[in-house]
């Protein structure tokens, strides 16, 4: 594989050969101590298969107002998408998906809408932009060039079923359905409907049941025109109680729309001004990750049993710190380790994929009321926000005229080594060291192990005979912007995992 790294001064990532990449030694970390870990592999057992297209990115719908962005001519962005994966999944949605409208012709008016809530909060409840056929046509060209497919979000919060159906019809015809060898995975109607009560619906009455009433109106209007339409839902901000209620409703329907996936979002916390949003916090184990996984897995199992087919589940939007990310936390090496661990954690729990949120500064800021809160922190420290990636958590940033992979993307690249594999259980005990481990069997039959040492001070000694060192994710420190993902220059075993290092190990036996 290619071995990306970043330069310290401009965060620009270059591709190094394996022979020139400098890998860490324990001596690299001052005053580091080591602790012994035990790892037992149960490779005779099988866990969830990790899809080939597990890697995904999430962008705001309003990015489509610039038809040159997702375009076959945007070679820089295409290159970085293909560096991350040659068959990932792009999710179009976010806050702005509920304030945009389909404009099929230059003279098409905005639909007349009724918003039943208070009209306050973020985003505004007023329609703010339009989506045109040109943007969808260019999106198809972009997907063709990258090899990616698309989850396409349609406005539920401020839309009409008729206009939604018109948009879905054009999108389906232009992108083509993936189950018919096209590029459209499925439609997603509405973004974080559990939070509609804060800005789009009456907080006194809004519920999963009312959401399903509106969702079914729109979904049925779409499939009347697009019979092959498939849908993901509910795309909540992470409200476990919604899954059970929605699945119960779906199972009562004699002619339900085709459900392609159950979906939710996940941000560790926020906003950027929250003093608890620290490097230590994002690297600590999160019980909420396990809670969300448990509840959506149970809901998917119920729906799968009722429909007599497997319904997958996916994390369709998330990152470290909500509201654009936090400088010094979301844009440093700690975010690389978090992403590597988070993606492999979800992979081991049967998720179909993960879409980390990012995009252009202008459009993410628009989804937050026109401003990135992280900029306030940089300015308060007498810094220049323009020298940072915007938004701060984005996997791919535009620096000057160049698209570059940011630290969180390197964790995604690390985790993507497991794509296509079948996970198997392990017994891993790192003692007091903040570390995790995952294992899988690749389609070739080769076994792969990832050890992610998130501890800033302690190395990990481990005895795993007949496994050679593979891609290694390192940086000078957890708060460094200089990230390296590289292969070793030789074929050797590794007995010590240095602090703040993630390592892939391959079974070296023939």
Q: What is the pLDDT of residues 327-377, one digit of tens each?
A: 999 999 999 999 999 999 999 999 999 999 999 988 898 888 888 999 999
Q: How far apart are CA 328 and CA 278, in angstroms?
A: 8
Q: How far apart are CA 469 and CA 483, in angstroms?
A: 18
36 strand-pairing partners: 461
- Enumerate the domain spans of the chain: 3-48+421-507, 55-418
Higher pLDDT, 273 or 490: 273
CATH topology agreement for domains 3-48+421-507 and 55-418: no
pLDDT band at 491 (very low <50, low <70, confident <90, very high): low
- What's residue 510's pLDDT? 58
For the domain covering 3-48+421-507, report its CATH number.
Answer: 2.60.40.1180
Q: DSSP string of 341-358?
A: HHHHHHHHTT-S-EEEE-
Tell me the pLDDT of the chain averaged across its residues: 90
Q: How far apart are CA 99 and CA 64, in angstroms?
A: 13
Q: 484 with 474: CB under 8 angstroms?
A: yes
pLDDT band at 221 (very low <50, low <70, confident <90, very high): very high
Among 24-38, 259-273, 487-501, the range scoring the smallest mean pLDDT is 24-38
Percent of the chain with pLDDT over 90: 78
Tell me which residue of 505, 503, 487, 508 sits closest to 26, measured CA to CA. Answer: 503
State mean pLDDT over 188-192. 97
Distances (CA, A) of 227 to 173, 221, 289: 12, 10, 35
Strand order in the sheet with 467-474: 13-16, 3-6, 484-486, 467-474, 501-507, 447-453, 435-441, 422-423
Among 193-202, 257-266, 458-467, 491-500, the range scoring the smallest mean pLDDT is 491-500
pLDDT tens digits along 87-110: 999 999 999 999 999 999 999 988
Q: 363 with 508: CB under 8 angstroms?
A: no
State mean pLDDT over 217-223. 98
Helices (H), 114-176: 133-146, 161-175
State mean pLDDT over 224-246. 95
For the domain covering 55-418, report its CATH number.
Answer: 3.20.20.80
- What's residue 332's pLDDT? 97
pLDDT band at 116 (very low <50, low <70, confident <90, very high): low
Q: How far apart are CA 209 and CA 190, in angstroms?
A: 15
Higher pLDDT, 198 or 228: 228
- What's residue 98's pLDDT? 94
Q: How far apart are CA 409 and CA 335, in angstroms?
A: 9
pLDDT tens digits along 421-448: 999 999 999 999 999 999 999 999 999 9
pLDDT tens digits along 151-174: 999 999 999 999 999 999 999 999
- What's residue 70's pLDDT? 98
- What's residue 383's pLDDT? 80
Q: ∠268-270-275 over CA atoms, to 5°?
A: 110
Q: Which residues, in sequence order, are CB contacts of 184 under 8 Å at separation 6+?
A: 149, 150, 152, 171, 172, 175, 176, 177, 178
Higher pLDDT, 127 or 425: 425
pLDDT tens digits along 4-55: 544 333 333 333 333 334 454 444 444 568 889 999 999 999 999 999 999 9
- DSSP at 94: S
Phi, psi of 137 (to 5 degrees): -60, -45
pLDDT band at 382 (very low <50, low <70, confident <90, very high): confident
Tell me which residue of 220, 99, 224 sits closest to 158, measured CA to CA. Answer: 99
């Amino acid at each position: 594989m290619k071995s990306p790294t970043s330069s310290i001064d401009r965060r620009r990532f270059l591709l190094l050969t394996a022979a020139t990449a400098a890998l860490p030694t324990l001596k690299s970390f001052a005053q580091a101590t080591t602790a012994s870990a035990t790892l037992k592999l149960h490779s005779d057992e099988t866990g969830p298969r990790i899809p080939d297209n597990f890697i995904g990115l999430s962008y705001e719908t309003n990015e489509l107002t610039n038809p040159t962005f997702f375009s076959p001519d945007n070679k820089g962005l295409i290159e970085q998408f293909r560096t991350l994966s040659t068959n990932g999944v792009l999710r179009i949605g976010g806050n702005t998906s509920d304030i945009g409208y389909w404009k099929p012709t230059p003279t098409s008016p905005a639909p007349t809408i009724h918003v039943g809530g208070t009209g306050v909060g973020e985003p505004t409840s007023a329609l703010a932009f339009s989506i045109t056929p040109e943007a969808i046509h260019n999106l198809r060209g972009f997907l063709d060039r990258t090899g990616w497919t698309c989850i396409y979000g349609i406005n539920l919060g401020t839309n009409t079923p008729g206009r939604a159906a018109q948009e879905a019809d054009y999108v389906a015809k232009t992108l083509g359905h993936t189950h018919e060898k096209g590029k459209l995975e499925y439609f997603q109607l509405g973004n974080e409907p559990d939070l509609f009560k804060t800005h789009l619906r009456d907080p006194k009455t809004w519920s999963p049941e009312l959401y399903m009433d509106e969702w079914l109106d729109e979904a049925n209007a779409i499939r009347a025109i697009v019979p092959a339409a498939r849908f993901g839902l509910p795309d909540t901000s992470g409200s476990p109680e919604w899954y059970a209620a929605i699945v119960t409703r779906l199972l009562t329907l004699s002619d339900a729309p085709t459900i392609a996936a159950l979906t939710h979002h996940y941000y560790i916390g926020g906003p950027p001004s929250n003093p608890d949003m620290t490097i230590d916090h994002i690297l600590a184990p999160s019980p909420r990750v396990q809670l969300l996984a448990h509840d959506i897995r149970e809901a998917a199992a119920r729906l799968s049993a009722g429909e007599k087919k497997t319904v997958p589940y996916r994390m369709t939007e998330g990152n470290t710190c909500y509201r654009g990310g936090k400088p010094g936390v979301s844009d440093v090496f700690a975010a690389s380790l978090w992403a590597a661990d988070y993606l492999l954690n979800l992979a081991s729990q049967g998720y179909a994929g993960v879409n980390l949120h990012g995009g252009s500064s202008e459009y993410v800021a628009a989804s937050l009321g026109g401003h990135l809160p992280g900029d306030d922190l940089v300015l308060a420290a007498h810094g220049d926000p323009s020298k940072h990636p915007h938004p701060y958590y984005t996997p791919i940033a535009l620096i000057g005229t160049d698209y570059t992979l940011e630290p969180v993307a390197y964790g995604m690249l690390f985790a993507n080594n497991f794509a296509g594999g079948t996970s198997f259980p392990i017994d891993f005990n790192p003692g007091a060291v903040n570390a995790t481990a995952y294992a899988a069997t690749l389609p070739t039959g080769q076994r792969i192990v990832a050890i992610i040492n998130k501890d800033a001070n302690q190395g990990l000694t481990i005895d795993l005979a007949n496994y050679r060192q593979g891609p290694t994710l390192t940086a000078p420190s957890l708060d460094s912007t200089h990230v390296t993902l590289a292969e070793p220059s030789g074929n050797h075993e590794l007995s010590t995992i240095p602090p703040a290092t993630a390592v892939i190990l391959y079974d070296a036996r023939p």
